[in-house]
Amino acid sequence: MTPRDPGRTGAAEAEPLAAGQEGEAIKAIPLRHPWRNLAAVILVLMLAVFIIDAAQREDYGWADVGKYIFDKRISAAALVTLQLTVYAMVIAIVLGLVLAIMRLSPNPVLKSIAWLYIWIFRGTPVYVQLVFWGIMALIYPVITIGIPFTTPWISIPNGVFTNLFITAVIGLGLNEASYMSEIVRAGLLAVDRGQEEASRALAMSWGQTMRYVVVPQAMRVIIPPTGNEIISMLKTTSLVAAIPLSIDLYGVSRGISAVTFTPVPLLIVASLWYLLFTSILMVGQYFIEKRFSRGSGQRRAAKPSSFAGVGTTAAVTEAPTGNEPGGKG
Amino acid sequence: MSDQPMVLADRVSKSFGTNRVLRSISLKVDPGEVLCIVGPSGSGKSTFLRCINHLDRVDAGRLSVEGQLVGYREKAGKLYELKPKEAAYQRRDIGMVFQRFNLFPHLTALENIILAPMKVKGTSKADASAKALELMDRVGLADKANEYPAHLSGGQQQRVAIARALAMEPKLMLFDEPTSALDPELVGEVLDVMKELARSGMTMIVVTHEMGFAREVANSLVFMDGGVVVESGNPREVLTNPQHERTKAFLSKVL
Ligand SMILES: Nc1ncnc2c1ncn2[C@@H]1O[C@H](COP(=O)(O)OP(=O)(O)OP(=O)(O)O)[C@@H](O)[C@H]1O
Ligand SMILES: [Mg+2]
């Protein structure tokens, strides 16, 4: 371009663009991706072969799948699975909130107890925990109320842990609470400290500050992983066989197949029901996430996170808080 | 009543661990007065404001607002710490405006303003909203009631924050560097609102680097450095004729 650069004369001689004249449109040949295309073709072919083969294979028992998919026993069991999920998650969310607040409290005793709880329940397999809860009625046959090591005032047979459904709910809920508490804690910590300060300066109490200011903002961070936890819980309920409870979706499918000697079709039936529920949950999660990104996420609202429920946390936490200085709005 | 000072600090001290942030601060603010506090970063200005509001507690000395000890009750020569509820009650009469606005991002401008009157004072939504719209008009944002903070400029956000504090009908307003986070062209609109507020007779304590504002609006000016009040007096006198070396050094940097 410069006169001292004789090799670039071509550029230097180029006519300056006339006003209003547009640059020439780019008509480049797009880059090809032959390996990508080949891989896609191979995968599609493999899938097709698998489906055609599966449709013909005796073991899948497609006729039985059709027969049992709407069986009364199966749909009743599906309801039990839903109930286990809902009750266990309610326990987990409430207890998780309590544990999270305990961990954030300045009281070292409360903090340590919450930490110990989380350490134990996250550090052991849920299957093992469920077996433990199952034999709880044998360890504590009676529940007594009174002063320790003296004659109890009241002694009642342990009815809680002889009811296997309640045992399962408690076992699943207590385990899940340890995970939920970490999720809630992360959510509470993600809210800017200035928010709490502004709320207190407006004479709002701690409870009001939590309820109207901190928790609603923490929700944006808490909800996506909680959705994942619910979906995960729905599947984890199949482990209640460890208690042993066998009235849930998986337990009943196994029960039927033990009689009919057709395990595969019943596994497929159970899987389809699980898939139905998880799909519904994913759609629900998508809409709830959209609802809670109100206000802060407005500028990004045009591109809500996908309802696959994966990797949405980052997108949500990065959303602007609306408190950045300097009129960026 | 009216001869009682709005804020009275008597040898107030405050430490964070071994860091002595406030060292024996004494000052008085009368009703209707505007006090500006200036000083270098880390000199304890924000901490002092937060103590007035009992967001931080003082370690020594006496700090009172309208004759009431902040955060404590004195009975038979002994001090009792206030319960959180009682401390919150004291804050009802004190509004605070922050450097970073701290609007609630999940609520619209109007919802930001009506939240505390509704939840703390039990005002009905209709009354609170009517009052809030009045205040939004007063800060020049009548048309922004239903905007979320993220959609407002910094200057607009800060004016909403001022309206939010005023909605509690405070007797004292604390401003902690209200214009420091703003782009230069947005500073004026916030200062204008504050000037109007001062003219209306509001008692104000303003931490600021806006010397023009201090000169024009303040009744008195305090220069703080290293947790002590180095110099105080009439703003015009302190700004044009500082007595202490540290004041001179600071002013030569900011003016
Ligand atoms: N919560 C806290 N814990 C520990 N130290 C603190 C805390 N808050 C403030 N400090 C310290 O107290 C000192 C004074 O802080 P303060 O925020 O009051 O200064 P400032 O005058 O407002 O400064 P700036 O102009 O930067 O806002 C600083 O050294 C700061 O590090
Ligand atoms: Mg400060």
Residue A17 pLDDT class (50, 70, 90 cuts): low
Residue A311 pLDDT class (50, 70, 90 cuts): very low
Task: Compare A309 and A36 and report the one with higher pLDDT.
Answer: A36
Query: What is the per-residue pLDDT for A25?
Result: 86
Write out the DSSP string of B143-163.
Answer: GGTT--GGGS-HHHHHHHHHH
Query: What is the per-residue pLDDT for A320?
Result: 41
A298 and B156 within 8 Å at the Cβ level: the answer is: no
Query: What is the per-residue pLDDT for A297?
Result: 46
B155 and A322 within 8 Å at the Cβ level: the answer is: no
What secondary structure, in 3-state letters, does B174-198 show? EEECCCCCCCHHHHHHHHHHHHHHH
Residue A323 pLDDT class (50, 70, 90 cuts): very low
Say if residues A28 and A232 touch (Cβ distance below 8 Å). no
Q: How far apart are CA B234 and CA B35, in angstroms?
A: 10
Please name the helix (run of DSSP H) or strand (run of DSSP E) that holds residue B16, with its range, or none: strand B7-16
B181 and A325 within 8 Å at the Cβ level: the answer is: yes
List, for residues A69-111, the tens digit of each pLDDT value. Answer: 999 999 999 999 999 999 999 999 999 999 999 998 888 999 9
- Give the residue-averaged pLDDT of A143-149: 80
Confidence check: pLDDT of B1 > 70: no
Confidence check: pLDDT of A309 > 70: no
Question: Residue B22's closest CA among B7, B44, B38, B46?
Answer: B44
Query: What is the per-residue pLDDT for A141?
Result: 81
Confidence check: pLDDT of A11 > 50: no
List, for residues B179-209, the tens digit of each pLDDT value. Answer: 999 999 999 999 999 999 999 999 999 999 9
B139 at interface of A, judged by CB pairs closer than 8 A: no
Query: What is the per-residue pLDDT for A104?
Result: 87
Tell whether ligand 1 has an atom less than 6 A from the beta carbon of residue B41.
yes
B88 and A326 within 8 Å at the Cβ level: the answer is: no
Residue A327 pLDDT class (50, 70, 90 cuts): very low
Confidence check: pLDDT of A324 > 50: no
Q: What is the mean pLDDT of chain A?
A: 83
Q: How far apart are CA A311 and CA A90, in angstroms?
A: 24
Q: Which tokens go with A201?
A: 């300066």
Q: How far apart are CA A184 and CA A168, in angstroms?
A: 23
Tell whether ligand 1 has an atom less than 6 A from the beta carbon of residue B47.
yes
Say if residues B9 and B195 touch (Cβ distance below 8 Å). no
Structural domain includes residue A162: yes
- Give the residue-averaged pLDDT of A257-272: 93
How many whole angstroms from B177 Cα to the centroid of ligand 2? 7
B22 at interface of A, judged by CB pairs closer than 8 A: no
Question: In this predicted structure, which of A30-39, A174-183, A273-282, B136-145 has the lowest mean pLDDT?
Answer: A30-39
Q: What is the mean pLDDT of chain B?
A: 94
Residue A7 pLDDT class (50, 70, 90 cuts): very low
The rounded percent of chain A whose pLDDT value lies above 70 is: 83
Structural domain includes residue A270: no
How many whole angstroms from B235 Cα to the centroid of ligand 2? 20
A203 and B154 within 8 Å at the Cβ level: the answer is: no
Confidence check: pLDDT of A307 > 50: no
- Closest residue (by CA) to atom 29 of ligand 1? B42
B137 at interface of A, judged by CB pairs closer than 8 A: no
B118 at interface of A, judged by CB pairs closer than 8 A: no
Q: What is the dihedral of CA A196, B116, B93, B68, to 10 degrees?
A: -60
Which residues sit with Cβ closer than 5 angstroms to ligand 2, an ion?
Answer: B 46
How many whole angstroms from B208 Cα to the centroid of ligand 2? 9
Q: Where are the beta strands (DSSP E) in chain A?
A: 142-145, 154-157
In total, the C-beta contacts within 8 angstroms joining chain A to chain B are 120
Q: Which ligand is nearest to the CA of B176?
A: 2
Q: Which tokens go with A259?
A: 């009689």
Q: How far apart are CA A229 and CA A222, in angstroms?
A: 11
State which residues form the domain around A149: 83-247
CATH number of the domain within which A156 lies? 1.10.3720.10
Residue A309 DSSP SS3:
coil
Query: What is the per-residue pLDDT for A199?
Result: 97
Question: Residue B132's closest CA among B120, B144, B122?
Answer: B144
Query: What is the per-residue pLDDT for B153?
Result: 96
Say if residues B160 and B109 touch (Cβ distance below 8 Å). yes
Residue A9 pLDDT class (50, 70, 90 cuts): very low
pTM: 0.78
Name the burial class of residue A108, with classes exposed (0-12), middle (13-18) and buried (19+) by CB atoms within 10 angstroms of its CB: exposed
Q: Which tokens go with B142?
A: 């009548």
Q: Which tokens go with A106?
A: 């300045």
Residue B37 DSSP SS3:
strand
**Total count of domains within chain A:** 1
B105 and A295 within 8 Å at the Cβ level: the answer is: yes
Neighbouring residues of A205: CB distance < 8 A, sequence distance ≥ 6: B84, B85, B88
Write out the DSSP string of B72-126.
Answer: EEEETTEEEEPPHHHHHHHHTTEEEE-TT----TTS-HHHHHHHHHHHHH---HH
Tell whether ligand 1 has an atom less than 6 A from the beta carbon of residue B254.
no
Name the burial class of residue A275, with classes exposed (0-12), middle (13-18) and buried (19+) by CB atoms within 10 angstroms of its CB: exposed
Report long-range pairs for B112-115 (Cβ below 8 Å, ≥24 apart): B112/B149, B112/B160, B112/B161, B112/B164, B113/B160, B113/B163, B113/B164, B113/B167, B114/B167, B115/A202, B115/A204, B115/A212
The CA distances from residue A329 to B123, B170, B189, in Å, are 31, 29, 16
Tell whether ligand 1 has an atom less than 6 A from the beta carbon of residue B16.
yes
Structural domain includes residue A237: yes
Structural domain includes residue A103: yes
User: Between β-strands B78-81 and B72-75, what pairing exists: parallel, antiparallel or unpaired?
Assistant: antiparallel
Looking at the CA of residue B44, tell me the nearest atom of ligand 1: 18
Residue of chain A minimizing CA distance to B115: A212
List, for residues B75-97, the tens digit of each pLDDT value. Answer: 888 989 999 889 999 999 999 99
Structural domain includes residue A224: yes
Confidence check: pLDDT of A6 > 60: no
Question: Residue A126's closest CA among A88, A69, A98, A99?
Answer: A88
Task: Compare A294 and B225 and report the one with higher pLDDT.
Answer: B225
Provide the residue type at B3 as one letter: D
Structural domain includes residue A191: yes
Structural domain includes residue A19: no
Name the burial class of residue A89, with classes exposed (0-12), middle (13-18) and buried (19+) by CB atoms within 10 angstroms of its CB: buried
List, for residues A217-234, the tens digit of each pLDDT value. Answer: 998 899 889 999 999 999
Structural domain includes residue A88: yes
Nearest to B105 among A202, A208, A296 (CB): A296
Please name the helix (run of DSSP H) or strand (run of DSSP E) that holds residue B223, with its range, or none: strand B220-225
B105 and A197 within 8 Å at the Cβ level: the answer is: no
Say if residues B189 and B140 touch (Cβ distance below 8 Å). yes
A291 at interface of B, judged by CB pairs closer than 8 A: no
